[in-house]
């Protein structure tokens, strides 16, 4: 890959990891990316939980589509050695 940064949301990565039999190359790439073996390092994670004013509800164990589509976690990876 020739890009310096990879930005991916949970829903995109989970789609390929869950369908590894249908998308073996993509599943392997995301597995390697998240394991730190693809030449990229995780530099930032953005995660938003549902909230109402000062009250926040962590929903890490909520139903999958609620977490993935309503407010996915976003991961930013930087290519090793990139400026």
Mean pLDDT per segment of 10 residues, for the chain of length 83 residues? 86 77 88 92 91 88 75 91 77
- Say what the pLDDT of residue 48 is: 84
Q: Which domain holds residue 38?
A: 5-79
pLDDT at residue 37, as a whole number: 93
CA triplet 14, 20, 21: central angle to 5 degrees?
Answer: 150
Here the contacts of 30-37 (C-beta below 8 Å, separation 24 or greater) are 33/6, 33/8, 33/77, 34/75
For residue 26, what are the contacts with CB-CB under 8 A and spacing of at least 6?
Answer: 16
Return the pLDDT at 17: 75
pTM reported for the whole predicted model: 0.77
* Number of domains comprising the chain: 1
Residue 62 dihedral angles phi and psi, to the nearest 5°: -70, 170
């Amino acid at each position: 890959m020739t890009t310096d940064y990879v930005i991916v949301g949970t829903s995109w990565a989970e789609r390929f990891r869950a369908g590894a039999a249908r998308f073996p190359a993509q599943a392997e790439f995301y597995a390697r990316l998240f394991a730190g073996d693809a030449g990229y390092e995780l530099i930032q994670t953005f995660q938003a939980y549902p909230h109402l004013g000062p009250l926040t509800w962590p929903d890490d164990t909520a139903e999958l589509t609620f977490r993935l589509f309503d407010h996915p976690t976003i991961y930013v990876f930087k290519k090793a050695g990139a400026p």
